[in-house]
Structure 1
Amino acid sequence: MLQFSKYQGLGNDFLIFDNRSLVNNRIPQAPDSEWIQGICNRNFGVGADGIIIILPPIGRGDLRMRIFNADGKEAEMCGNGIRCLTKFLGDSDTHSIWNIETLAGIITSTLHEHGAISIDMGEPLYLPNEIPTKLCIENGKLPTGIITIDGISWDIISVGMGNPHAVILVSNIETIDLNRWGNTLEQHFIFPKFSNIHFTEVLSINHVRMKTWERGVGITLACGTGACAVLIVTHTLGLTKQQAQISLPGGSLDIHWQKSDNHLVMTGEAKAIFDGVLTPEFTPAPEDTVNCLSSNNDLYKQKSVNKIEKETIICSKSCMDGCLYPDNCFSRDVRSRVSDLIANSSLDEIITLTTDSIESRIQ
C-alpha cells in the first residue's frame, strides 16, 4: 500500500510521499494532474494545499523535492512546504541540516533543538524576465505597475523568490475581498506564469500583516516565499527593517534579509498531522509503459480479423477512467495483492501498520 504523511506549516498543509527507497517508490515522479486534484480535494480526497515528493538527489544536494499545487501544476518552491519537509526529515533522521534540491536551486534547511525551522531561501529576483512579469523597472529597484479591474486600480510590485509574487500595499487588509480579486489578479496577462498575490498592511517597522491568494491553490493560511517577498518590498521602500515579523492568518514567520550575502532566512514551525495509506482506487498508476490489448479504437487499429496493431499505453494517462483491458492488465496481480491485504487485515492491523511507520521515523 502507498504510504504518505500529512504535515502543516501555519495551516498550509501538504501530503508527503517518500520516493527515496526503491521498495517504497510507488508514486510517479510527476503524477497526473487530475490525480493530484483528486487527492488534494477536501471533500472527496485526503485534502491538502499540495503534495511533496521526496526523491534521490541528482546534483550536490542530500535529496530532491518536487512540489505540486492542488491544481496539479508543479511549483518551483514553497517556503511552508519545505519547512514541512524539514520536519518530516527530522522525525526520521539524526541530521539537523539538509541541502534540498528544488526547481529554484539548492535550499538549505535547519531544524533547531527547540523545534523552530530555519530555511535559507536564497536571493530575491528583481529582473522582470526572471520573476517573470511584464511589469517594468522604472524609478526604483523593483518591477511596478498599475492593474485596473472593474474600475478598481491596484498598485502592483513584483518580486521573485524562485516563484513569482505580487505585493499590494493597503491600509487595512480586512477590507480586501480575496475571493473577488485573487484569481483575477493571479491570472492577469502581466504574469506569464501567473503569480501569488499578497495584500499587505505595514503595522510598524518590525511588523507586517499579509493575506495571500496562492497561485494554483487559492486562499491559504500562509505562504513562506510570499512572506519573504513582502519583506523585500517593504524594506526596499523603507517601511520596515531588514528583519521583521510577518503575520499571516495561520501564524507568524520571522524573515531576515541578510545584507552579508543578500539571502533571506525564514524561521517558523511545522507539525505532523498524521500518517496514512491510500486505498487501491486512490493509488496512482505506475509510470511504467506497457503494452496490453484493448478494443479502444483510438488506441488500436485492426488490420485484419486476427491481427491487431498494438500501441503503447501509459497507464497513468490512458487508464485514468478505468483499465482499458482489465482481463489482461499487467498490474492486475499487484492490485489483487493489495486488495487482499486490505480485505484480510483488521482495522487494528491497519492502525498498527501506520503506527509502526510513525515510530520508525521518530526513534
Structure 2
Amino acid sequence: MTGMTHHFLKMNGLGNDFVVLDLRREPLALTDALARAIANRETGIGCDQLITIEEPRNGGDAFMGIRNQDGGTVEACGNAARCIGKLILEETGKDAVIIETLGGNTVATRADAENIAVDMGEPRLKWNEIPLSEEFQDTRGIELEVGPLGNPIMHSPGVVNVGNPHAVFFVDDVDAIELDRIGPMLEHHPLFPERANISVAEVISPTHLKIRTWERGVGLTKACGTAACASTVAAIRRRKTERRITVSLPGGDLTVEWREADNHIYMTGAAALDYEGEIDPAKLLAGAA
C-alpha cells in the first residue's frame, strides 16, 4: 500500500460532509481503521461519513457504501444519497438513477439546477423493524424519558426506520436541549439494540419543522437527511404538520414530503462538490497510529 494514492472527492449536503472514494475505478481494501483515519479531522481528510461508490449489486446504477467517523458501516444517509445521486446523474446523463444502499434503493433526480431530489422509500414503523428491544404497539410515542422523574426534559419519542433507526423527541426549543450531553446516552440506550440517531424537533408551523440531530457513530451534525425524513414522518404521525414541509437544520433547509399516494418519503436539497485530491492510505494509517 505504501506510495499508492487514491483519488477522492470532498462533498457536502448542507454542511454534512463526506469523503467520496470511487472504488469502481480504484479498488481499495477499506478497513475500519482506514475509514477512521480518513475521517479524522486532525490527521486525515476529515468528514462525517466516508462514502464509497461501488459497482451495483442488484440492477441499480451504483452501490453506495457508508461508514461513519467511528469506522462502522451504516445502512443509509440521505445527504450522501443526494451527493452520489448528483455524481451518477452527471456521469450517466439519465433523468433518474438508482443508488443502492444496505438500507434499500434510493432514486435520485434533478429537482432544479441546484437541488437533487431523492426517493427515500417507505418508512418502517413497527417496533421490530426499527428495531427496538421491547415490543411497543404504538411507535408514535414510546415510553422513554430524559430528566427528573415526573418532570422530564423530554419524553415519548416517535421512532422510525428510514433505512436506519431514529428516535425523535418533540420539544419547545431545540436550542435549549444539551444534545451533546444527552445524545450519546440515548444513542446507546438499551431500547435500541442497533443504536439510534437521536433528534430533537420543534414545530415552527404546520409546514415548518426545526431539528437538531445527534448522529449514530458521528455525534452532533450540521445536517442529517435521514433525520429530516424521520422527523417529518414522526410529526405527521402525531398530526403536528402537513405532509410536505420545510425542515430546517443547522446547515440549512430541506424539503421533505411523505406522500400519501405511495407511502414514500421524498427529500429535496442541495449537494455540493467542495474540492478533490489524492490520499495515501499508508501515510494516513501511520499518522493515526
Query: TM (normalized to structure 2)?
Result: 0.91
Give, as a single letter, the amino acid of the residue that structure 2 aligns with 1:99: I
User: Structure 1: how far apart are the matches of 2:281 and 2:115?
Assistant: 36
2:68 — aligned with what? 69
1:184 — aligned with what? 185
1:127 — aligned with what? 126
2:58 — aligned with what? 59
Q: Please identify, of 95-104 and 228-237, the stretch whose mean Cα deviation from structure 2 is larger.
A: 95-104
CA, structure 1 residues 279+141, in 2 after alignment: closer, same or farther (shift >3 Å)?
closer
2:233 — aligned with what? 232
Query: What is the aligned counterpart of 2:20 among 16, 22, 38?
Result: 16
SS at match of 1:183: helix
Identity %, equivalent residues: 37
2:8 — aligned with what? 4
Q: Deviations over 1:220-250 (max 9, x none)?
A: 0011111111111111111100110000000
Q: Deviations over 1:148-172 (max 9, x none)?
A: 4575463222111010000001001
Unmatched segments (≥5 aa) in structure 2: none
Give, as a single letter, the amino acid of the residue that structure 2 aligns with 1:39: I
User: Structure 2: how far apart are the matches of 1:113 and 1:242?
Assistant: 21
CA contact (8 A) 1:135 1:190 kept: yes
CA, structure 1 residues 143+134, in 2 after alignment: closer, same or farther (shift >3 Å)?
farther
CA, structure 1 residues 253+60, in 2 after alignment: closer, same or farther (shift >3 Å)?
same
Unmatched segments (≥5 aa) in structure 1: 286-319, 322-363
Any residues of structure 2 matched to 1:151-300 within 5 Å, and which?
Answer: 152=152, 154-155=154-155, 156-279=157-280, 281-282=282-283
User: Structure 1: how far apart are the matches of 2:237 and 2:48?
Assistant: 30
Any residues of structure 2 matched to 1:22-37 within 5 Å, and which?
Answer: 24-25=26-27, 27-28=28-29, 31-37=30-36
User: Structure 2: how far apart are the matches of 1:136 and 1:230?
Assistant: 21
User: Structure 1: how far apart are the matches of 2:60 and 2:224?
Assistant: 24
> Within the alignment, does 1:147 sit opposite 2:149 as a pair?
no
Shift of residue 97 of structure 1? 1.5
SS at match of 2:235: helix
CA contact (8 A) 1:221 1:249 kept: yes
Give, as a single letter, the amino acid of the residue that structure 2 aligns with 1:184: M
CA RMSD of aligned residues (A): 2.0
Query: TM (normalized to structure 1)?
Result: 0.73
CA contact (8 A) 1:135 1:158 kept: no
CA, structure 1 residues 59+176, in 2 after alignment: closer, same or farther (shift >3 Å)?
same
Shift of residue 39 of structure 1? 1.1
Q: Deviations over 1:167-186 (max 9, x none)?
A: 00100111111111011111
User: Structure 1: how far apart are the matches of 2:262 and 2:79?
Assistant: 22
User: Structure 2: how far apart are the matches of 1:61 and 1:284?
Assistant: 33
Shift of residue 284 of structure 1? 7.2
User: Structure 2: how far apart are the matches of 1:112 and 1:236?
Assistant: 26
Shift of residue 124 of structure 1? 0.5
Shift of residue 113 of structure 1? 4.1
